[in-house]
Chain A
């Protein structure tokens, strides 16, 4: 009995050595492909995974200058501090509200644009409108911010100039807490909806022509065709994009907010990203702001996994 086992051991050992040799041989044979991966993987390891490892400082009382694990471990104390911090709660509330509005208004808008564009007969008109609405996407938020100031500024913005001529009192939008969130939502729609409509246009274009023909034979008019053919046809695209959009619900806009934010609207405009920037790089409280960042990444991740699972259950559509 023992001898047989010994024999098996030897075979087992020989087999795994052979596997090892096979593996090495395979790697050597495919060395070109693997060598292509070396630099990209190096990028991911250094610039994506090391910072993930650096999240550890959220659990410590980090002292600047030390390594990622060189400071005293205080575990969840930072998180207690975070959740009892009024500015954080404010930033969290702002983030959720602004993101919520951006999704409610900003998600359907490109879809509607795509539908409208699709109904246009004249291709010249269609192409010129497209050229116009894609453009704002390629301009930076700094520039868009300057445009917003030139139009909405209280003293000499275009809007108030026109109102003054008409004898109406000037409106305050940029430094007014009541309208600031609206400004954020509308300006991001203005900038991004054009480009976002492209995906929906593409999705509309691949809906099977035969289904349209069948519907027309059944007597459907254009509105009915849209409702019963196009909409279901692009439903999976909409679902996938919606799942992805939900995953970034805690990102209310970094550059946009940084450009437009001012002391008078900070209470309604400060979001998690700008808050992390302010506390982390501005005030130098590294572990606190990393804890906030970890919270944000975790929630975002759970949301994506969650909405993906939910969508799979309900409709069979999923991103992964």
Chain B
């Protein structure tokens, strides 16, 4: 009996370790490539452990500076977007947590319906165009104004706050706005932080929405520019069918990989904060289900 559980445990640990390793190793590999000197790649062979480390690729990118314009775009979209998202979501979630409000049933059904039935890409695009928002950051920010899923998560949280808290405050003479801003919001900071982080990551990583709504290159956020940098020479490689030495070094892999590392850096830096909050957030979402 003890032997069996021991074996199972060992297999378990190994399997999980392999999965964990497979989740992280690709990033380590990318880091390795990015640290190679610029002329070493042409010599071929597996690049698992770098013998010579060089920051040439990073220096090259930092000197070039083009990528930072897209960083700025992404930052604007992420900050403005997340603020708008949180503002609308909190208002909606709090109002919808008052289930005794007249009209509640109509509102909540109208809102949830949009989770399962959408107008589609083209009508949405046409709407943005007729609102004259094409090529404006607001097209992106407004079109994703509220994620009904996150709103429902926040609403669950508000519903679970004991009524006695609000009632006590009102008896003490608090107005409804006071209750919301000075009592409910401070208590709800964890959920707000979690939802906010998820919105923010969503904005930072979004590729398709900016692609269709933004026409000027200088407004293109990080992921769109990345796509261009990372995939264009591979495209030409495929159509050619073969790689010549020249094509291989056209936009050298080290540069590409260094670009990837730089792009992943912001996410990596806030990842510890994310981790702290999102497990809680998903738990609350799970309770809703």
Q: Which one of A3-11, A87-95, A153-161, A209-217 is at the B interface?
A: A153-161
Q: Which one of B51-59, B159-167, B185-193, B256-264 is at the A interface?
A: B256-264
Q: Contact at B24–A161, with CB atoms within 8 Å?
A: no
Q: Which one of A96-104, A142-150, A177-185 is at the B interface?
A: A142-150
- Flag whether A105 is at the interface (Cβ < 8 A): no
Which residues, 209 to 247 on B, are CB-close (under 8 Å) to A? 212, 223, 226-227, 230-231, 234-235, 237-239, 243
Q: Mark B193-215, 1 if CB is under 8 A from A, else 0.
A: 00000000100111110001000
B residues less than 8 Å from A120 (CB atoms): 12-13, 16
Q: Contact at B23–A194, with CB atoms within 8 Å?
A: yes
- Flag whether B171 is at the interface (Cβ < 8 A): no
How close is A179's CB to chain B, nearest CB, in angstroms? 15
Which residues, 51 to 79 on A, are CB-close (under 8 Å) to B? 51-55, 57, 68
Select which of A49, A52, A240, A298 is within 8 A of B289 by beta carbon. Answer: A240
Interface centre among A40, A117, A255 (most CB of B within 10 A): A40
B residues less than 8 Å from A310 (CB atoms): none
- Flag whether B250 is at the interface (Cβ < 8 A): no
Select which of A51, A121, A175 is within 8 A of B238 by beta carbon. Answer: A175
Q: Taking CB as reference atom, which chain B residue is nearest A293?
A: B120
Q: Contact at A221–B1, with CB atoms within 8 Å?
A: yes
Given known contacts A44-B110, A125-B13, A241 and B282 CB-to-CB distance under 8 angstroms: no
How close is B56's CB to chain A, nearest CB, in angstroms? 18
Given known contacts A151-B29, A165-B45, A55 and B119 CB-to-CB distance under 8 angstroms: yes
Q: Mark A265-292, 1 if CB is under 8 A from B, else 0.
A: 0000000010011001100001001100
Given known contacts A50-B119, A142-B227, A147 and B20 CB-to-CB distance under 8 angstroms: no
Q: Contact at B253–A156, with CB atoms within 8 Å?
A: yes
Given known contacts A50-B127, A117-B16, A259-B227, A161 and B47 CB-to-CB distance under 8 angstroms: yes
- Flag whether A30 is at the interface (Cβ < 8 A): yes
Docked Cα-Cα span, A113 to B12, in Å, equals 10
Select which of B27, B87, B95 is within 8 A of A37 by beta carbon. Answer: B95
A residues less than 8 Å from B205 (CB atoms): 138-141
Q: Contact at B282–A198, with CB atoms within 8 Å?
A: yes
Which residues, 79 to 137 on A, are CB-close (under 8 Å) to B? 113, 116-117, 119-121, 125, 128-129, 131-136
Q: Contact at A280–B122, with CB atoms within 8 Å?
A: yes
Select which of A40, A57, A150 is within 8 A of B88 by beta carbon. Answer: A40
Docked Cα-Cα span, A40 to B93, in Å, equals 9
Select which of A57, A121, A143, A155 is within 8 A of B264 by beta carbon. Answer: A143
- Flag whether A199 is at the interface (Cβ < 8 A): yes
Interface centre among A140, A194, A221, A290 (most CB of B within 10 A): A140
Docked Cα-Cα span, A175 to B236, in Å, equals 13
How close is B281's CB to chain A, nearest CB, in angstroms? 9
Given known contacts A50-B127, A255-B208, A161 and B13 CB-to-CB distance under 8 angstroms: no
How close is B276's CB to chain A, nearest CB, in angstroms? 11
Q: Taking CB as reference atom, which chain B residue is nearest A112?
A: B15
- Flag whether A311 is at the interface (Cβ < 8 A): no
Q: Contact at A138–B274, with CB atoms within 8 Å?
A: yes
Interface of chain B, main secondary structure: helix
Docked Cα-Cα span, A183 to B116, in Å, equals 28
- Flag whether A264 is at the interface (Cβ < 8 A): yes
Contact residue range for chain B?
A: 35 or more
Which residues, 117 to 140 on B, are CB-close (under 8 Å) to A? 117-127
B residues less than 8 Å from A23 (CB atoms): 102
- Flag whether B271 is at the interface (Cβ < 8 A): yes
Q: Taking CB as reference atom, which chain A residue is nearest B205?
A: A140
Which residues, 1 to 20 on B, are CB-close (under 8 Å) to A? 1, 5, 8-9, 12-13, 15-17, 19-20
A residues less than 8 Å from B248 (CB atoms): 155-156
Q: Taking CB as reference atom, which chain B residue is nearest A205?
A: B283
B residues less than 8 Å from A54 (CB atoms): 119-120, 122-124, 126-127
How close is B268's CB to chain A, nearest CB, in angstroms? 8
- Flag whether A297 is at the interface (Cβ < 8 A): yes
Q: Contact at A43–B256, with CB atoms within 8 Å?
A: no
Docked Cα-Cα span, A53 to B102, in Å, equals 26
A residues less than 8 Å from B177 (CB atoms): 32
B residues less than 8 Å from A145 (CB atoms): 227, 230-231
B residues less than 8 Å from A175 (CB atoms): 238
Q: Mark A32-47, 1 if CB is under 8 A from B, else 0.
A: 1110110111011011
Given known contacts A155-B243, A240-B289, A304-B116, A139 and B267 CB-to-CB distance under 8 angstroms: yes
Given known contacts A125-B13, A129-B16, A32 and B33 CB-to-CB distance under 8 angstroms: no
A residues less than 8 Å from B256 (CB atoms): 146
6 more CB-based (< 8 A) A-B contacts, given A132-B23, A276-B120, A300-B116? A23-B102, A33-B101, A138-B271, A145-B231, A153-B234, A297-B117
Task: Return the 3 tightest CB-CB contacts between A and B, nearest first.
Answer: A51-B119, A54-B123, A293-B120
9 pairs from A and B in contact (CB 8 Å cutoff): A54-B127, A146-B260, A150-B33, A155-B237, A156-B248, A175-B238, A199-B282, A254-B208, A259-B207
Residues of B within 8 A of A (CB): 1, 5, 8-9, 12-13, 15-17, 19-24, 26-27, 29-30, 33, 41, 44-47, 87-89, 91-92, 94-96, 98, 101-102, 107, 110-111, 114, 116-127, 142-143, 145-146, 175-177, 180, 201, 204-208, 212, 223, 226-227, 230-231, 234-235, 237-239, 243, 248, 253, 256-257, 260, 263-264, 267, 271, 274-275, 278-279, 282-283, 285-286, 289
